[in-house]
Structure 1
Protein backbone atom coordinates (compact mmCIF):
# COMPACT_ATOMS: atom_id res chain seq x y z
CA UNK A 1 0.00 0.00 0.00
CA UNK A 2 1.28 3.46 -0.94
CA UNK A 3 1.64 5.30 2.37
CA UNK A 4 0.78 8.71 0.89
CA UNK A 5 -2.70 7.42 0.00
CA UNK A 6 -3.51 5.60 3.22
CA UNK A 7 -6.57 6.81 5.16
CA UNK A 8 -6.44 8.04 8.73
CA UNK A 9 -7.71 5.36 11.13
CA UNK A 10 -9.24 6.25 14.49
CA UNK A 11 -8.90 3.63 17.22
CA UNK A 12 -11.14 4.05 20.27
CA UNK A 13 -10.38 2.34 23.58
CA UNK A 14 -13.44 2.41 25.85
CA UNK A 15 -12.99 1.95 29.60
CA UNK A 16 -15.17 1.74 32.69
CA UNK A 17 -13.69 1.00 36.13
CA UNK A 18 -11.78 -2.15 35.14
CA UNK A 19 -8.19 -1.20 34.25
CA UNK A 20 -6.51 -4.59 34.83
CA UNK A 21 -5.61 -5.02 31.17
CA UNK A 22 -5.47 -1.40 30.07
CA UNK A 23 -1.69 -1.26 29.74
CA UNK A 24 -1.68 -4.30 27.42
CA UNK A 25 -4.56 -2.74 25.49
CA UNK A 26 -2.76 0.56 24.95
CA UNK A 27 0.54 -1.09 24.03
CA UNK A 28 -1.24 -3.23 21.43
CA UNK A 29 -2.47 -0.02 19.81
CA UNK A 30 0.86 1.78 19.97
CA UNK A 31 2.71 -1.22 18.54
CA UNK A 32 0.69 -1.17 15.30
CA UNK A 33 2.81 -0.77 12.17
CA UNK A 34 0.13 1.16 10.28
CA UNK A 35 0.25 4.91 9.73
CA UNK A 36 -1.52 7.26 10.23
CA UNK A 37 -3.47 6.50 13.41
CA UNK A 38 -5.55 8.76 15.65
CA UNK A 39 -6.05 7.29 19.13
CA UNK A 40 -8.95 8.16 21.45
CA UNK A 41 -9.30 6.80 24.98
CA UNK A 42 -12.87 7.27 26.23
CA UNK A 43 -13.65 6.61 29.89
CA UNK A 44 -17.31 6.29 30.83
CA UNK A 45 -17.36 8.04 34.20
CA UNK A 46 -15.23 5.60 36.19
CA UNK A 47 -14.24 8.30 38.68
CA UNK A 48 -10.79 6.76 39.13
CA UNK A 49 -9.38 6.68 35.60
CA UNK A 50 -5.55 6.45 35.95
CA UNK A 51 -4.82 9.37 33.63
CA UNK A 52 -1.23 10.02 34.75
CA UNK A 53 -0.30 6.34 34.42
CA UNK A 54 -1.90 6.14 30.99
CA UNK A 55 -0.10 9.25 29.79
CA UNK A 56 3.23 7.74 30.87
CA UNK A 57 2.48 4.46 29.03
CA UNK A 58 1.72 6.45 25.91
CA UNK A 59 4.81 8.64 26.26
CA UNK A 60 7.06 5.59 26.67
CA UNK A 61 5.58 3.62 23.75
CA UNK A 62 4.15 6.03 21.19
CA UNK A 63 5.77 6.18 17.75
CA UNK A 64 5.37 8.70 14.93
CA UNK A 65 2.65 6.65 13.19
CA UNK A 66 0.22 7.67 15.97
CA UNK A 67 -0.27 11.29 15.00
CA UNK A 68 -2.71 12.30 17.74
CA UNK A 69 -3.97 11.05 21.11
CA UNK A 70 -7.18 12.34 22.69
CA UNK A 71 -8.79 11.67 26.06
CA UNK A 72 -12.56 11.77 26.46
CA UNK A 73 -13.21 11.50 30.20
CA UNK A 74 -16.88 11.61 31.16
CA UNK A 75 -17.93 12.85 34.59
CA UNK A 76 -20.82 10.40 34.74
CA UNK A 77 -21.52 6.86 33.60
CA UNK A 78 -23.76 6.94 30.54
CA UNK A 79 -23.13 3.54 28.98
CA UNK A 80 -21.34 2.11 25.97
CA UNK A 81 -23.74 3.56 23.41
CA UNK A 82 -23.06 7.15 24.47
CA UNK A 83 -19.39 6.66 25.37
CA UNK A 84 -18.36 5.05 22.09
CA UNK A 85 -20.76 7.21 20.09
CA UNK A 86 -19.27 10.41 21.51
CA UNK A 87 -15.77 9.21 20.64
CA UNK A 88 -16.85 8.42 17.09
CA UNK A 89 -18.38 11.89 16.77
CA UNK A 90 -15.05 13.63 17.48
CA UNK A 91 -13.00 11.14 15.46
CA UNK A 92 -11.20 12.48 12.41
CA UNK A 93 -10.36 9.10 10.89
CA UNK A 94 -12.03 7.74 7.77
CA UNK A 95 -12.17 4.29 9.38
CA UNK A 96 -13.35 3.71 12.97
CA UNK A 97 -12.01 0.80 15.02
CA UNK A 98 -13.20 0.09 18.60
CA UNK A 99 -11.09 -1.74 21.17
CA UNK A 100 -12.71 -2.50 24.54
CA UNK A 101 -10.46 -1.72 27.49
CA UNK A 102 -9.94 -5.37 28.47
CA UNK A 103 -9.21 -6.56 24.91
CA UNK A 104 -6.07 -6.12 22.82
CA UNK A 105 -5.10 -6.34 19.18
CA UNK A 106 -3.98 -9.81 18.11
CA UNK A 107 -0.71 -8.64 16.54
CA UNK A 108 1.08 -5.56 15.20
CA UNK A 109 -0.42 -5.79 11.72
CA UNK A 110 -4.14 -5.83 12.51
CA UNK A 111 -4.81 -2.25 11.42
CA UNK A 112 -2.73 -2.66 8.25
CA UNK A 113 -4.65 -5.83 7.34
CA UNK A 114 -7.99 -4.17 8.06
CA UNK A 115 -7.22 -1.12 5.91
CA UNK A 116 -5.92 -3.33 3.10
CA UNK A 117 -9.22 -5.24 3.12
CA UNK A 118 -11.26 -2.02 3.08
CA UNK A 119 -9.28 -0.77 0.09
CA UNK A 120 -9.34 -4.10 -1.74
CA UNK A 121 -13.09 -4.72 -1.36
CA UNK A 122 -14.43 -1.16 -1.30
CA UNK A 123 -16.67 -2.12 1.64
CA UNK A 124 -18.13 0.32 4.18
CA UNK A 125 -18.07 -2.12 7.09
CA UNK A 126 -15.81 -5.04 7.96
CA UNK A 127 -15.88 -7.80 10.56
CA UNK A 128 -12.89 -9.99 11.47
CA UNK A 129 -12.24 -12.90 13.84
CA UNK A 130 -11.96 -12.76 17.61
CA UNK A 131 -9.75 -15.08 19.62
CA UNK A 132 -11.55 -15.65 22.92
CA UNK A 133 -9.21 -15.97 25.91
CA UNK A 134 -9.54 -16.33 29.68
CA UNK A 135 -8.01 -13.99 32.26
CA UNK A 136 -4.63 -15.76 31.86
CA UNK A 137 -4.80 -15.18 28.09
CA UNK A 138 -5.21 -18.88 27.42
CA UNK A 139 -7.08 -19.42 24.16
CA UNK A 140 -10.59 -20.82 24.63
CA UNK A 141 -12.02 -20.74 21.09
CA UNK A 142 -12.44 -18.62 17.97
CA UNK A 143 -15.41 -16.43 17.13
CA UNK A 144 -17.02 -17.16 14.81
CA UNK A 145 -16.37 -20.87 15.24
CA UNK A 146 -14.48 -22.43 12.35
CA UNK A 147 -17.20 -25.02 11.72
CA UNK A 148 -19.60 -22.14 10.95
CA UNK A 149 -17.49 -20.53 8.21
CA UNK A 150 -19.23 -22.41 5.38
CA UNK A 151 -22.68 -21.64 6.76
CA UNK A 152 -21.81 -17.95 7.19
CA UNK A 153 -20.46 -17.80 3.64
CA UNK A 154 -23.97 -18.62 2.37
CA UNK A 155 -25.41 -15.68 4.35
CA UNK A 156 -23.91 -13.38 1.77
CA UNK A 157 -26.23 -10.37 1.47
CA UNK A 158 -27.43 -7.63 3.79
CA UNK A 159 -30.96 -9.07 3.59
CA UNK A 160 -29.85 -12.57 4.61
CA UNK A 161 -27.80 -11.17 7.50
CA UNK A 162 -30.81 -9.07 8.51
CA UNK A 163 -33.03 -12.15 8.82
CA UNK A 164 -30.28 -14.13 10.59
CA UNK A 165 -29.85 -11.37 13.16
CA UNK A 166 -33.58 -11.03 13.84
CA UNK A 167 -34.09 -14.79 14.27
CA UNK A 168 -31.06 -15.05 16.57
CA UNK A 169 -29.21 -17.45 14.26
CA UNK A 170 -26.30 -15.12 13.67
CA UNK A 171 -23.40 -17.53 14.26
CA UNK A 172 -21.21 -14.75 15.73
CA UNK A 173 -20.56 -13.57 12.18
CA UNK A 174 -20.34 -9.92 13.29
CA UNK A 175 -19.52 -8.51 16.71
CA UNK A 176 -19.33 -4.90 17.82
CA UNK A 177 -15.89 -5.61 19.29
CA UNK A 178 -14.49 -6.24 15.80
CA UNK A 179 -16.91 -4.24 13.65
CA UNK A 180 -14.85 -1.68 11.76
CA UNK A 181 -16.78 0.95 9.81
CA UNK A 182 -16.35 3.99 7.62
CA UNK A 183 -17.03 7.18 9.55
CA UNK A 184 -19.28 8.41 6.74
CA UNK A 185 -21.48 5.33 7.18
CA UNK A 186 -21.78 5.89 10.94
CA UNK A 187 -23.01 9.45 10.43
CA UNK A 188 -25.18 8.62 7.43
CA UNK A 189 -27.14 6.10 9.51
CA UNK A 190 -27.50 8.53 12.41
CA UNK A 191 -25.04 6.87 14.76
CA UNK A 192 -26.04 4.53 17.56
CA UNK A 193 -29.63 4.17 18.74
CA UNK A 194 -29.86 6.31 21.88
CA UNK A 195 -32.74 4.26 23.29
CA UNK A 196 -30.09 1.75 24.35
CA UNK A 197 -27.49 2.09 27.11
CA UNK A 198 -25.01 -0.79 26.78
CA UNK A 199 -26.00 -2.65 23.61
CA UNK A 200 -24.63 -0.72 20.67
CA UNK A 201 -23.94 -3.30 17.98
CA UNK A 202 -27.13 -5.25 17.21
CA UNK A 203 -29.40 -2.18 16.97
CA UNK A 204 -26.82 -0.54 14.68
CA UNK A 205 -26.52 -3.70 12.58
CA UNK A 206 -30.31 -3.70 12.17
CA UNK A 207 -30.01 -0.16 10.79
CA UNK A 208 -27.29 -1.26 8.41
CA UNK A 209 -28.87 -4.45 7.10
CA UNK A 210 -32.37 -2.99 6.77
CA UNK A 211 -30.82 -0.12 4.77
CA UNK A 212 -29.14 -2.58 2.42
CA UNK A 213 -25.62 -2.07 3.79
CA UNK A 214 -23.71 -5.34 4.03
CA UNK A 215 -20.75 -6.21 6.26
CA UNK A 216 -17.68 -7.68 4.60
CA UNK A 217 -16.19 -10.58 6.57
CA UNK A 218 -12.48 -11.41 6.70
CA UNK A 219 -12.01 -14.24 9.16
CA UNK A 220 -8.46 -14.80 7.93
CA UNK A 221 -7.67 -11.74 10.06
CA UNK A 222 -7.52 -12.35 13.81
CA UNK A 223 -8.51 -8.94 15.10
CA UNK A 224 -8.35 -9.12 18.86
CA UNK A 225 -7.78 -11.20 21.94
CA UNK A 226 -11.32 -11.08 23.31
CA UNK A 227 -11.40 -11.55 27.07
CA UNK A 228 -14.30 -13.60 28.34
CA UNK A 229 -16.21 -12.09 31.22
CA UNK A 230 -17.55 -8.88 29.66
CA UNK A 231 -21.19 -7.89 29.20
CA UNK A 232 -21.80 -10.62 26.65
CA UNK A 233 -20.04 -13.41 28.54
CA UNK A 234 -19.91 -12.55 32.23
CA UNK A 235 -22.33 -11.36 34.90
CA UNK A 236 -25.29 -9.71 33.19
CA UNK A 237 -25.83 -6.02 33.93
CA UNK A 238 -29.50 -5.12 34.60
CA UNK A 239 -29.17 -2.28 32.08
CA UNK A 240 -28.19 -4.82 29.45
CA UNK A 241 -31.32 -6.83 30.26
CA UNK A 242 -33.37 -3.66 29.80
CA UNK A 243 -31.66 -3.12 26.45
CA UNK A 244 -32.61 -6.65 25.40
CA UNK A 245 -36.21 -6.01 26.40
CA UNK A 246 -36.25 -2.79 24.37
CA UNK A 247 -34.74 -4.65 21.44
CA UNK A 248 -37.24 -7.53 21.53
CA UNK A 249 -40.33 -5.37 22.03
CA UNK A 250 -39.98 -1.78 20.78
CA UNK A 251 -37.27 -2.10 18.11
CA UNK A 252 -38.57 -5.32 16.60
CA UNK A 253 -42.03 -3.78 16.16
CA UNK A 254 -40.50 -1.09 13.98
CA UNK A 255 -39.11 -3.75 11.63
CA UNK A 256 -42.01 -6.18 11.87
CA UNK A 257 -44.05 -5.35 8.77
CA UNK A 258 -41.07 -5.56 6.40
CA UNK A 259 -40.14 -9.11 7.42
CA UNK A 260 -41.28 -12.50 6.05
CA UNK A 261 -43.72 -14.60 8.06
CA UNK A 262 -41.17 -17.13 9.36
CA UNK A 263 -39.08 -14.28 10.80
CA UNK A 264 -42.14 -12.66 12.39
CA UNK A 265 -42.72 -15.85 14.39
CA UNK A 266 -39.35 -15.39 16.10
CA UNK A 267 -40.13 -11.75 16.86
CA UNK A 268 -43.50 -12.71 18.34
CA UNK A 269 -41.85 -15.36 20.51
CA UNK A 270 -39.06 -13.05 21.74
CA UNK A 271 -41.51 -10.25 22.46
CA UNK A 272 -43.71 -12.57 24.55
CA UNK A 273 -40.65 -13.99 26.32
CA UNK A 274 -39.48 -10.49 27.26
CA UNK A 275 -42.84 -9.84 28.92
CA UNK A 276 -42.99 -13.09 30.94
CA UNK A 277 -43.08 -12.27 34.65
CA UNK A 278 -42.66 -15.72 36.16
CA UNK A 279 -41.52 -19.28 35.43
CA UNK A 280 -45.07 -20.53 34.85
CA UNK A 281 -45.66 -18.03 32.04
CA UNK A 282 -42.29 -18.84 30.51
CA UNK A 283 -42.90 -22.62 30.56
CA UNK A 284 -46.32 -22.16 28.95
CA UNK A 285 -44.78 -20.00 26.23
CA UNK A 286 -42.03 -22.51 25.53
CA UNK A 287 -44.53 -25.36 25.22
CA UNK A 288 -46.74 -23.37 22.86
CA UNK A 289 -43.76 -22.38 20.69
CA UNK A 290 -42.06 -25.77 20.72
CA UNK A 291 -40.80 -25.55 17.11
CA UNK A 292 -39.02 -22.28 17.77
CA UNK A 293 -37.62 -23.60 21.03
CA UNK A 294 -36.30 -26.69 19.24
CA UNK A 295 -34.68 -24.49 16.62
CA UNK A 296 -33.03 -22.39 19.35
CA UNK A 297 -31.87 -25.50 21.19
CA UNK A 298 -30.23 -26.86 18.04
CA UNK A 299 -28.51 -23.52 17.48
CA UNK A 300 -27.24 -23.44 21.09
CA UNK A 301 -25.99 -27.02 20.75
CA UNK A 302 -24.16 -26.09 17.55
CA UNK A 303 -22.45 -23.22 19.41
CA UNK A 304 -21.19 -25.59 22.11
CA UNK A 305 -19.94 -28.04 19.50
CA UNK A 306 -18.14 -25.18 17.77
CA UNK A 307 -16.40 -24.22 21.01
CA UNK A 308 -15.32 -27.82 21.59
CA UNK A 309 -13.96 -28.28 18.08
CA UNK A 310 -12.02 -24.99 18.27
CA UNK A 311 -10.38 -26.20 21.48
CA UNK A 312 -9.38 -29.49 19.87
CA UNK A 313 -7.92 -27.96 16.71
Structure 2
Protein backbone atom coordinates (compact mmCIF):
# COMPACT_ATOMS: atom_id res chain seq x y z
CA UNK A 1 0.00 0.00 0.00
CA UNK A 2 1.19 3.51 -0.81
CA UNK A 3 1.34 5.78 2.21
CA UNK A 4 0.90 9.56 1.94
CA UNK A 5 3.79 11.94 2.49
CA UNK A 6 3.92 13.40 6.00
CA UNK A 7 5.72 16.69 6.64
CA UNK A 8 7.38 16.91 10.06
CA UNK A 9 7.74 20.51 11.23
CA UNK A 10 10.22 21.70 13.88
CA UNK A 11 10.38 25.40 14.87
CA UNK A 12 13.54 26.36 16.75
CA UNK A 13 15.30 29.33 18.29
CA UNK A 14 18.66 29.16 20.09
CA UNK A 15 18.36 25.52 21.11
CA UNK A 16 21.13 23.52 19.38
CA UNK A 17 21.46 20.42 21.56
CA UNK A 18 17.77 19.81 22.19
CA UNK A 19 16.86 20.53 18.57
CA UNK A 20 19.46 18.04 17.38
CA UNK A 21 17.85 15.38 19.58
CA UNK A 22 14.44 16.31 18.15
CA UNK A 23 15.80 16.04 14.60
CA UNK A 24 17.26 12.62 15.37
CA UNK A 25 13.87 11.46 16.69
CA UNK A 26 12.31 12.43 13.35
CA UNK A 27 14.98 10.70 11.30
CA UNK A 28 14.48 7.58 13.44
CA UNK A 29 10.80 7.31 12.50
CA UNK A 30 9.73 4.05 10.93
CA UNK A 31 7.14 5.82 8.77
CA UNK A 32 7.83 6.49 5.09
CA UNK A 33 7.48 8.68 3.03
CA UNK A 34 8.51 11.56 5.26
CA UNK A 35 9.98 15.03 4.91
CA UNK A 36 11.44 17.22 7.65
CA UNK A 37 11.13 21.01 7.66
CA UNK A 38 13.13 22.94 10.25
CA UNK A 39 12.15 26.57 10.72
CA UNK A 40 14.90 28.58 12.41
CA UNK A 41 13.54 31.75 13.99
CA UNK A 42 16.71 33.80 13.50
CA UNK A 43 18.83 31.90 16.04
CA UNK A 44 21.74 33.95 17.34
CA UNK A 45 23.84 31.01 18.50
CA UNK A 46 25.23 27.96 16.70
CA UNK A 47 21.93 26.08 16.36
CA UNK A 48 22.04 25.97 12.56
CA UNK A 49 25.72 25.03 12.53
CA UNK A 50 25.02 22.04 14.78
CA UNK A 51 22.04 20.90 12.70
CA UNK A 52 23.81 21.34 9.36
CA UNK A 53 26.94 19.58 10.59
CA UNK A 54 24.90 16.57 11.65
CA UNK A 55 22.84 16.52 8.46
CA UNK A 56 25.94 16.74 6.28
CA UNK A 57 26.62 13.09 7.13
CA UNK A 58 22.99 12.00 6.89
CA UNK A 59 22.43 9.53 4.06
CA UNK A 60 18.84 8.53 4.73
CA UNK A 61 15.76 8.77 2.55
CA UNK A 62 14.07 11.67 4.32
CA UNK A 63 14.04 15.02 2.54
CA UNK A 64 15.19 17.86 4.81
CA UNK A 65 14.47 21.55 4.33
CA UNK A 66 15.90 24.28 6.55
CA UNK A 67 14.22 27.68 6.55
CA UNK A 68 16.27 30.61 7.82
CA UNK A 69 13.72 33.16 9.03
CA UNK A 70 14.02 36.63 10.50
CA UNK A 71 13.52 36.49 14.24
CA UNK A 72 9.91 37.07 15.29
CA UNK A 73 9.66 35.36 18.68
CA UNK A 74 6.32 33.88 17.63
CA UNK A 75 6.35 30.05 17.30
CA UNK A 76 3.07 30.07 15.40
CA UNK A 77 4.57 32.28 12.71
CA UNK A 78 7.50 29.88 12.34
CA UNK A 79 5.23 26.84 12.07
CA UNK A 80 3.09 28.61 9.48
CA UNK A 81 6.14 29.43 7.36
CA UNK A 82 7.16 25.77 7.46
CA UNK A 83 3.71 24.51 6.44
CA UNK A 84 3.74 26.94 3.51
CA UNK A 85 6.72 24.95 2.21
CA UNK A 86 5.29 21.55 3.13
CA UNK A 87 4.44 19.10 0.37
CA UNK A 88 2.92 16.36 2.51
CA UNK A 89 -0.75 15.45 2.71
CA UNK A 90 -0.34 15.46 6.49
CA UNK A 91 1.59 17.76 8.79
CA UNK A 92 3.02 16.65 12.13
CA UNK A 93 4.46 19.16 14.59
CA UNK A 94 7.39 18.66 16.94
CA UNK A 95 8.66 21.38 19.26
CA UNK A 96 12.44 21.58 19.33
CA UNK A 97 12.63 20.53 22.98
CA UNK A 98 10.38 17.48 22.60
CA UNK A 99 10.92 14.00 21.15
CA UNK A 100 8.98 11.39 19.18
CA UNK A 101 9.23 7.70 19.87
CA UNK A 102 10.41 5.85 16.71
CA UNK A 103 6.98 4.41 15.84
CA UNK A 104 5.00 7.57 16.56
CA UNK A 105 4.03 8.59 13.03
CA UNK A 106 3.46 5.07 11.70
CA UNK A 107 1.31 4.00 14.63
CA UNK A 108 -0.64 7.27 14.66
CA UNK A 109 -1.31 7.11 10.93
CA UNK A 110 -2.23 3.42 10.81
CA UNK A 111 -4.33 3.47 13.98
CA UNK A 112 -6.20 6.71 13.33
CA UNK A 113 -5.99 8.20 9.85
CA UNK A 114 -5.63 5.08 7.67
CA UNK A 115 -8.60 3.32 9.27
CA UNK A 116 -10.64 6.53 9.53
CA UNK A 117 -10.01 8.51 6.34
CA UNK A 118 -12.47 11.23 7.38
CA UNK A 119 -10.32 12.09 10.40
CA UNK A 120 -8.72 15.49 9.89
CA UNK A 121 -6.71 15.85 13.09
CA UNK A 122 -5.40 13.53 15.79
CA UNK A 123 -3.14 13.70 18.81
CA UNK A 124 -1.43 11.21 21.10
CA UNK A 125 -0.81 10.84 24.79
CA UNK A 126 2.39 12.46 26.05
CA UNK A 127 5.01 11.34 28.51
CA UNK A 128 5.90 14.38 30.60
CA UNK A 129 9.56 14.55 31.55
CA UNK A 130 10.55 17.39 33.85
CA UNK A 131 14.30 17.65 34.33
CA UNK A 132 14.67 13.91 33.90
CA UNK A 133 11.75 12.96 36.14
CA UNK A 134 8.60 11.47 34.63
CA UNK A 135 5.51 13.37 35.81
CA UNK A 136 2.36 11.33 36.34
CA UNK A 137 -0.65 12.21 34.20
CA UNK A 138 -3.05 10.12 36.29
CA UNK A 139 -5.05 13.08 37.56
CA UNK A 140 -5.82 14.48 34.12
CA UNK A 141 -9.30 13.17 33.37
CA UNK A 142 -10.38 15.66 30.70
CA UNK A 143 -12.00 14.52 27.48
CA UNK A 144 -9.45 13.85 24.75
CA UNK A 145 -11.50 12.62 21.78
CA UNK A 146 -14.57 13.64 19.83
CA UNK A 147 -16.01 17.09 20.46
CA UNK A 148 -13.69 18.30 23.19
CA UNK A 149 -14.33 22.05 22.99
CA UNK A 150 -15.69 22.39 26.54
CA UNK A 151 -12.58 20.79 28.02
CA UNK A 152 -10.27 22.65 25.64
CA UNK A 153 -11.64 25.94 26.97
CA UNK A 154 -10.23 25.31 30.42
CA UNK A 155 -6.62 24.74 29.44
CA UNK A 156 -4.48 23.55 26.55
CA UNK A 157 -5.20 19.82 26.40
CA UNK A 158 -3.53 19.09 23.06
CA UNK A 159 0.25 19.09 22.94
CA UNK A 160 1.52 20.53 19.65
CA UNK A 161 4.18 17.83 19.41
CA UNK A 162 1.49 15.12 19.45
CA UNK A 163 -0.57 16.47 16.56
CA UNK A 164 -0.96 15.05 13.07
CA UNK A 165 -3.40 16.85 10.80
CA UNK A 166 -4.24 17.24 7.17
CA UNK A 167 -2.25 20.03 5.58
CA UNK A 168 -5.32 21.33 3.74
CA UNK A 169 -7.18 21.76 7.04
CA UNK A 170 -4.26 23.70 8.49
CA UNK A 171 -4.18 26.03 5.54
CA UNK A 172 -7.95 26.45 5.39
CA UNK A 173 -8.03 27.40 9.08
CA UNK A 174 -4.99 29.73 8.68
CA UNK A 175 -2.89 27.86 11.22
CA UNK A 176 -1.56 29.36 14.41
CA UNK A 177 -1.78 33.06 15.14
CA UNK A 178 1.38 34.82 14.07
CA UNK A 179 1.27 37.44 16.83
CA UNK A 180 1.09 35.35 20.02
CA UNK A 181 4.27 34.54 21.91
CA UNK A 182 2.56 32.05 24.23
CA UNK A 183 -0.72 30.08 24.16
CA UNK A 184 -0.95 30.26 20.38
CA UNK A 185 -1.63 26.52 20.54
CA UNK A 186 -4.48 26.97 23.04
CA UNK A 187 -6.06 29.58 20.77
CA UNK A 188 -5.73 27.45 17.63
CA UNK A 189 -7.11 24.31 19.25
CA UNK A 190 -10.17 26.33 20.34
CA UNK A 191 -10.80 27.32 16.75
CA UNK A 192 -10.47 23.72 15.62
CA UNK A 193 -12.37 21.97 18.42
CA UNK A 194 -15.27 24.37 18.01
CA UNK A 195 -15.84 22.85 14.57
CA UNK A 196 -14.11 19.48 14.23
CA UNK A 197 -13.98 16.21 16.11
CA UNK A 198 -10.55 15.25 17.42
CA UNK A 199 -9.14 11.71 17.38
CA UNK A 200 -6.81 10.42 20.07
CA UNK A 201 -4.18 7.69 20.23
CA UNK A 202 -4.02 6.64 23.87
CA UNK A 203 -0.34 5.75 23.87
CA UNK A 204 2.57 7.99 24.96
CA UNK A 205 4.23 8.34 21.57
CA UNK A 206 5.55 11.84 22.35
CA UNK A 207 8.00 12.86 25.07
CA UNK A 208 7.30 16.33 26.45
CA UNK A 209 10.41 17.80 28.06
CA UNK A 210 9.56 20.58 30.49
CA UNK A 211 11.16 22.67 33.19
CA UNK A 212 14.20 24.02 31.39
CA UNK A 213 14.89 27.73 31.59
CA UNK A 214 14.56 28.75 27.96
CA UNK A 215 10.89 27.78 27.69
CA UNK A 216 8.56 30.74 27.31
CA UNK A 217 6.33 29.39 30.09
CA UNK A 218 9.37 29.49 32.37
CA UNK A 219 10.24 32.99 31.17
CA UNK A 220 6.93 34.48 32.30
CA UNK A 221 6.18 32.17 35.21
CA UNK A 222 2.54 31.71 34.15
CA UNK A 223 0.64 31.59 30.89
CA UNK A 224 -3.00 32.15 31.90
CA UNK A 225 -2.89 35.81 30.89
CA UNK A 226 -1.98 34.72 27.37
CA UNK A 227 -4.86 32.25 27.26
CA UNK A 228 -7.18 35.04 28.38
CA UNK A 229 -6.00 37.24 25.54
CA UNK A 230 -6.45 34.52 22.92
CA UNK A 231 -9.91 33.54 24.18
CA UNK A 232 -10.98 37.17 24.56
CA UNK A 233 -10.17 37.93 20.93
CA UNK A 234 -12.28 34.98 19.76
CA UNK A 235 -15.23 35.95 21.96
CA UNK A 236 -15.00 39.61 20.93
CA UNK A 237 -15.01 38.52 17.28
CA UNK A 238 -18.09 36.32 17.92
CA UNK A 239 -16.09 33.48 16.37
CA UNK A 240 -18.20 30.71 17.87
CA UNK A 241 -21.75 29.56 17.30
CA UNK A 242 -24.30 30.91 19.79
CA UNK A 243 -24.14 28.02 22.27
CA UNK A 244 -20.37 27.77 22.16
CA UNK A 245 -20.03 31.54 22.41
CA UNK A 246 -21.86 31.46 25.72
CA UNK A 247 -19.63 28.66 27.01
CA UNK A 248 -16.57 30.59 25.88
CA UNK A 249 -17.77 33.83 27.49
CA UNK A 250 -18.45 32.05 30.78
CA UNK A 251 -14.99 30.47 30.84
CA UNK A 252 -13.45 33.82 29.92
CA UNK A 253 -15.34 35.42 32.80
CA UNK A 254 -14.02 32.76 35.16
CA UNK A 255 -10.44 33.17 33.96
CA UNK A 256 -10.63 36.95 34.29
CA UNK A 257 -12.07 36.64 37.79
CA UNK A 258 -9.33 34.26 38.95
CA UNK A 259 -6.62 36.41 37.40
CA UNK A 260 -8.11 39.62 38.79
CA UNK A 261 -8.30 38.24 42.32
CA UNK A 262 -4.72 37.10 42.03
CA UNK A 263 -3.64 40.60 41.03
CA UNK A 264 -5.43 42.02 44.06
CA UNK A 265 -3.55 39.64 46.35
CA UNK A 266 -0.28 40.83 44.81
CA UNK A 267 -1.22 44.48 45.38
CA UNK A 268 -1.80 45.11 41.67
CA UNK A 269 -5.14 46.75 42.34
CA UNK A 270 -5.56 48.64 39.07
CA UNK A 271 -4.84 45.59 36.93
CA UNK A 272 -6.91 43.42 39.22
CA UNK A 273 -9.94 45.69 38.99
CA UNK A 274 -9.62 45.79 35.21
CA UNK A 275 -9.90 42.01 35.01
CA UNK A 276 -12.67 41.81 37.58
CA UNK A 277 -14.64 44.31 35.48
CA UNK A 278 -13.96 42.17 32.43
CA UNK A 279 -15.21 39.13 34.32
CA UNK A 280 -18.51 40.88 34.99
CA UNK A 281 -18.83 41.98 31.37
CA UNK A 282 -18.32 38.51 29.91
CA UNK A 283 -20.62 36.94 32.49
CA UNK A 284 -23.38 39.20 31.14
CA UNK A 285 -22.62 37.95 27.61
CA UNK A 286 -22.73 34.38 28.87
CA UNK A 287 -26.14 34.78 30.51
CA UNK A 288 -27.98 37.30 28.34
CA UNK A 289 -30.49 35.68 25.93
CA UNK A 290 -30.27 38.64 23.55
CA UNK A 291 -26.53 39.19 23.61
CA UNK A 292 -25.93 37.24 20.43
CA UNK A 293 -29.17 37.84 18.58
Q: Deviations over 1:101-160 (max 9, x none)?
A: 111112x2111112212111221100101111133x44223xxx34546x526xx532xx
CA distance in 2 between partners of 1:268 and 1:173 (Å) = 20
Q: 2:95 aligned to 91, 100, 109, which one?
A: 100
Rounded to whole Å, the distance in 1 between the matches of 2:247 and 2:181 is: 30
Look up the match of 2:121.
Answer: 125
Q: TM-score, normalised by structure 1?
A: 0.74
CA contact (8 A) 2:100 2:206 kept: yes
Deviations along 1:248-283, one digit per CA (max 9) or x if unpaired, are: 432233347723656543222324555676436559
Q: 2:146 aligns with which of 147, 150, 157?
A: 157
1:201 Cα deviation from its structure 2 partner: 1.5
| Aligned residue in 2 for 1:203 | 187
Deviation string 1:6-31 (CA, Å, 9 cap, x unpaired) is: 01011111111122322221111111
**Structure with greater helix percent:** 1
Aligned with 1:60: secondary structure?
A: coil
User: CA offset at residue 235 of structure 1?
Assistant: 3.4
Give 1:41 deviation, angstroms. 0.9
Q: In structure 2, what is the Cα distance between the partners aligned to 1:19 and 1:52?
A: 8
RMSD: 3.2
- Could you tell me whether the CA contact under 8 Å between 2:74 and 2:178 is conserved in 1? no
Of 111, 114, 126 in structure 1, the residue corresponding to residue 108 of structure 2 is: 114
Per the alignment, residue 60 of structure 1 pairs with: 57
Return closer, same or farther for 1:147/1:249 CA change in 2, 3 Å cut-off. closer
Q: Distance in 1 between matches of 2:37 and 2:189?
A: 23
Are residues 138 and 274 of structure 1, via their aligned partners in 2, closer, same or farther at CA, if it must alter by over 3 Å?
Answer: closer
1:301 maps to what in 2?
Answer: none
CA contact (8 A) 2:146 2:199 kept: no
Alpha carbons of structure 1 residues 140 and 272: separation in structure 2 relative to 1, 3 Å: closer
Give the Cα–Cα distance (whole angstroms) in 2 for the partners of residues 124 and 134 of structure 1.
31
Q: Distance in 2 between matches of 1:109 and 1:262?
A: 38
Q: Distance in 1 between matches of 2:19 and 2:42?
A: 16
CA 1:62–1:118: 2 relative to 1, 3 Å: farther
1:40 aligns with 2:24: no
CA contact (8 A) 1:12 1:42 kept: yes
Tell me if structure 2 keeps the 8 A contact 1:131–1:225.
yes
- Assess, with a 3 A threshold, how the Cα gap between structure 1 residues 194 and 37 changes in structure 2: closer, same or farther: same
1:217, distance to aligned residue in structure 2 (A): 0.6
**8 A contact 2:152–2:193 mirrored in 1:** no
The aligned residue for residue 213 of structure 1 is 196
Shift in Å, 1:242:
6.0
TM-score scaled by length of structure 2: 0.78
SS in 1 for 2:88: coil
Distance in 2 between the 1:199 and 1:205 partners?
10
Task: Structure 2: give runs of 5+ residues left out of the alignment.
Answer: 284-293
Cα deviation digits, residues 42-76 of structure 1 (max 9, x gap): 11122224323312312334412x1x111111122
For the Cα contact (< 8 Å) 1:132–1:225, is it kept in 2?
yes
User: Can you give the 5+ residue segments of structure 1 that lack an aligned partner in the other structure?
Assistant: 293-313
Residue of structure 2 aligned with 1:91, choices 81, 86, 90: 86
- 1:159-191 CA deviation, whole Å, 9 max, x = no partner? xx112222x1x5x64222212111011011122
Instruction: Return closer, same or farther for 1:274/1:13 CA change in 2, 3 Å cut-off.
Output: same
